[in-house]
Amino acid sequence: EPEVTQTPSHQVTQMGQEVILRCVPISNHLYFYWYRQILGQKVEFLVSFYNNEISEKSEIFDDQFSVERPDGSNFTLKIRSTKLEDSAMYFCASSDNSPTEAFFGQGTRLTVV
């Protein structure tokens, strides 16, 4: 069964460092998303991406965040200068035709120390 895969599963970084979280969406999907979940809290939408550009972003997605689809398969989330409050589980998701069902990856747990 096709699935969204994310790497790494866990990343520890020092405050102020840049991190790149990677995702491989399901191959025939066209819409890509990043969400985050701070430990024990609800899942929050960050950004959606379609046709090689951002189609929607939330207030959380400020200038320290960026997304990219560098090739035909990967979808990345970059956090330029990490803060302690960026510690969370980051989920990538993809769908074939928004707004139908989005499939979520297993997540990357980011810990900023």
Partner 1 sequence: ELKVEQNPLFLSMQEGKNYTIYCNYSTTSDRLYWYRQDPGKSLESLFVLLSNGAVKQEGRLMASLDTKARLSTLHITAAVHDLSATYFCAVLGAGADGLTFGKGTHLIIQP
Interface segment toward partner 1; rule CB under 8 A; list 19-27, 28-36, 68-76, 77-85: 28-36
Q: Is 7 in the site for partner 1 (CB under 8 A)?
A: no
What whole-number distance in Å separates Cα of residue 50 and Cα of residue 72?
13
Name the strand (E) or helix (H) holding 78: strand 75-79
Which residue of 77, 102, 110, 112 would you call a contact of partner 1, by CB under 8 A?
A: 102
Longest dimension (CA), the chain: 38
Instruction: Tell me if 94 contacts partner 1 by CB under 8 A.
Output: no
Q: Name which of residues 43 to 82 contact partner 1 (CB under 8 A).
A: 43-48, 50, 55-56, 58
3-state secondary structure of 86: helix
Work out which of 26, 105, 110, 112 binds partner 1, going by CB under 8 A. Answer: 105
Nearer to partner 1 (CB atom), residue 19 or residue 46: 46
CA angle 22, 56, 38 (to 5 degrees): 55
Report H helices in the chain.
none
